[in-house]
């Protein structure tokens, strides 16, 4: 004799199954992913890590992280760990010779001990730009405005902490992307005009 299930029981089972699917959502376009990483050059020099610190949270599919890292994370699920190899072309791009320029020495503060190897930030057309002094002559300073990781193959050890669907407002860029969805602030009611 077969046992019949009520529609309420069947709906409960389906809801539990769907909740399980959402809890195991893979990294994909328009998902918000919280993850830890350790980044190294292919030669083994570590340049950053969030393990033991605050993980980072990004919206996938909107160019918020380097392309090779995003591509390597696709399909990963909560708790999964992976080592992702990122070639320079999918990381910070090639080292561009045109971004190594000479600047007149008098553009630097007088009395400043300017030396090769020094690094600083300057303002570029699209925001802050890291700059490294390559060479110092009597009349000129050669600076490299490439990203410090340009031209380098990279290796990321990644662990996924959380994955959720992005809200429509996050995808549209109307609210910041956070680990927990940001609720839009309610619009205050318009003042009521009294009848004269």
DSSP 34-92: EEEEEEEETTS-EEEE-TTSPPEEEETTSS-S-HHHHHHHTT--TT-EEEEEE-GGGTT
Mean pLDDT of the chain: 84
> Each residue of 170-192: pLDDT tens digit?
999 888 887 666 544 444 444 44
Which region among 10-19, 114-123, 163-172 has the lowest average model confidence (pLDDT)?
A: 10-19
What pLDDT shows up at residue 181?
64
Domain-embedded: residue 3: no
Higher pLDDT, 16 or 44: 44
Q: Backbone phi, then psi, for 171, in 5-degree steps?
A: -65, -40
Please give the distance of CA 157 from its chain centroid, rounded to a whole number: 15
Residue 55 CB neighbour total at 10 angstroms: 16
Give every CB contact of residue 66 below 8 A, 6+ residues apart in sequence: 86, 90, 91, 92, 154
Domain-embedded: residue 41: yes
Quote the tokens at residue 41: 């050059």
Rounded to an integer, what distance in angstroms lies between the CA atom of residue 28 and that of residue 1? 45
What pLDDT shows up at residue 190?
46
Domain-embedded: residue 177: no
Is pLDDT of 11 > 60?
no
Is pLDDT of 8 > 80?
no
Inter-residue contact 19 to 11 (CB < 8 Å): no
Q: Are residues 30 and 86 in the same domain?
A: yes
> Each residue of 25-74: pLDDT tens digit?
999 999 999 999 999 999 999 999 999 999 999 999 999 999 999 999 99
CATH number at residue 38: 3.10.50.40
Half-sphere exposure of 26 (CA within 13 A, CB side): 8
Q: Are residues 131 and 40 in the same domain?
A: no
Number of separate domains in the chain: 2
What pLDDT shows up at residue 180?
67
What pLDDT shows up at residue 2?
56
Domain-embedded: residue 62: yes
Quote the tokens at residue 39: 């980044």
Q: Which DSSP state fits 151?
A: T
> Each residue of 114-145: pLDDT tens digit?
999 999 888 877 788 889 999 999 999 999 99
Farthest-apart Cα atoms in the chain, separation:
97
What pLDDT shows up at residue 6?
58
Rounded to an integer, what distance in angstroms lies between the CA atom of residue 68 and that of residue 92? 10
Rounded to an integer, what distance in angstroms lies between the CA atom of residue 87 and that of residue 81? 20
Is pLDDT of 112 > 60?
yes
Domain-embedded: residue 40: yes
List the domain range (segments joined by +) for residue 43: 25-92+151-171
Domain-embedded: residue 45: yes
CATH number at residue 134: 2.40.10.330
Q: Are residues 84 and 155 in the same domain?
A: yes
Q: Are residues 83 and 159 in the same domain?
A: yes
> Each residue of 64-102: pLDDT tens digit?
999 999 999 999 999 999 999 999 999 999 999 999 999
């Amino acid at each position: 004799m077969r046992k019949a299930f009520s529609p309420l029981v069947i709906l409960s089972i389906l809801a539990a199954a769907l909740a399980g699917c959402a809890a195991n959502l893979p990294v994909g376009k328009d998902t918000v992913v919280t993850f830890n990483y350790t980044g190294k050059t292919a030669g083994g020099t570590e340049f950053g890590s969030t393990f033991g610190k605050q993980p980072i949270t990004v919206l996938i599919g909107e160019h918020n992280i380097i392309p090779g890292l995003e591509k390597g994370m696709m399909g990963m699920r909560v708790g999964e760990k992976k080592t992702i190899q990122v070639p320079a072309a999918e990381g910070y791009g090639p080292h561009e010779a045109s971004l190594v320029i000479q600047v007149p020495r008098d553009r630097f503060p007088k009395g400043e001990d300017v030396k090769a190897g020094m690094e600083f930030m300057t303002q570029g057309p699209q925001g802050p730009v890291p700059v490294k002094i390559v060479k110092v002559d009597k009349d000129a300073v050669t600076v490299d405005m490439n990203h410090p990781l340009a031209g380098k193959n990279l290796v990321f050890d990644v662990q996924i902490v959380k994955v959720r669907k992005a809200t429509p407002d996050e995808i549209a860029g109307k609210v910041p992307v956070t680990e927990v969805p940001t609720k839009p602030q309610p619009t205050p009611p318009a003042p009521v005009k009294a009848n004269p």
